Amino acid sequence: MLRIDNLRKTFDVPSDQRGRGRATASAQLAAIDDVSLEIHEGEMFTFLGPSGCGKTTTLRSIAGLERPDSGEIRLSERVLFSRGRGRDREVPVNRRGLGMVFQSYAIWPHLSVFDNVAFPLQVMPRRDRPKKKVIEERVMRVLATMELDAFAGRSATKLSGGQQQRLALARALVTEPPLLLLDEPLSNLDAKLRESLRFELKRLQHEIGITSIYVTHDQVEALALSSRIAVMSKGQVAQVGAPRDIYTHPESKFVAEFIGNSNFLPATAVESGNGTAIVETPQGRLEVAVDRPLDATASYLIGIRPESVEVLAAETAPAAGNGFSGTVAARSYLGEAVDHIVDIGGYEMRARVNPSVSFPAGTAVRLRIDPATISLIPTEGASR
Partner 1 sequence: MLQQRYTEERSAGQLVRRVLSPKNVIVFLAILIIGYLVLTPAIYLFIATFFSGGAFTLDAFRRAYGTSGLDSMVLSSIVFTVGATVLALALGTALAYITVRTNVPFRSLIVATSLVPLIVPGLLYTIAWVMVASPNVGIANQIGNALTGGPWFDIFSMPGMIWVEGTHNVPLVYLFMFVAFRAMDPSLEESALVNGATRATMLRRITIPLMRPALAAAALVVGVKTLGSFEVPTLLGVPGGIFVFVSRIYYVMSDFPYDTAAAGALSIGLVVLAILGTWALNRMQGDGKQYATVTGKGFRPAALDLGRWKWPVAIGVLVYFLVTTALPLFVMAYNSLLPHFQAISIRAMSEFTLQNYVDLFENPIFARSVGNSLLLAVGTATAIMVLTAVAAWVVVRGRRRSRKLVDQLTFIPMVFPGLVIGLAVSFVYLRNPLPIAVYGTLLILLIAYMTNFLPYGMRYAMSSLQQISAELEESSAVAGASWWQTWTRIVLPLMFPGLMAGWIYLLIVAVRELGSSILLYSPGNEVIAVLIFQMYEEGELVDISALGVVLVVFLSLIVALVHKFGSRVGIRL
| Contact footprint for partner 1 (CB under 8 A) | 12, 17-18, 20-21, 63-65, 77-79, 87, 89, 91, 93-100, 102-104, 106, 108-110, 119-120, 123-124, 171, 175, 181
Q: Least CB distance from residue 232 to partner 1, whole Å?
A: 21
Nearer to partner 1, 48 or 156 (CB): 156
What is the 8-class DSSP label of residue 187?
A: T
User: CB neighbours of 259 closer than 8 A, spacing ≥ 6?
Assistant: 219, 223, 231, 246, 247, 250
Nearer to partner 1, 39 or 367 (CB): 39
For residues 352 and 321, give the distance between their C-alpha atoms in angstroms, rounded to a whole number.
19
Nearer to partner 1, 10 or 103 (CB): 103
Residue of 61, 63, 75 whose CA lies nearest to 33: 61
What is the 8-class DSSP label of residue 112?
A: B
Nearer to partner 1, 180 or 302 (CB): 180
Nearer to partner 1, 124 or 189 (CB): 124
Note whether 214 and 230 are within 8 A (CB). Answer: no
Residue type, 116: N
DSSP string for residues in 191-251 = HHHHHHHHHHHHHHHHHH--EEEEEES-HHHHHHH-SEEEEEETTEEEEEE-HHHHHH--S
Q: Least CB distance from residue 172 to partner 1, whole Å?
A: 8
Q: Least CB distance from residue 177 to partner 1, whole Å?
A: 9
Residue type, 47: F
Nearer to partner 1, 123 or 320 (CB): 123
Q: Least CB distance from residue 128 to partner 1, whole Å?
A: 9
Q: Least CB distance from residue 119 to partner 1, whole Å?
A: 6
Q: Least CB distance from residue 174 to partner 1, whole Å?
A: 9
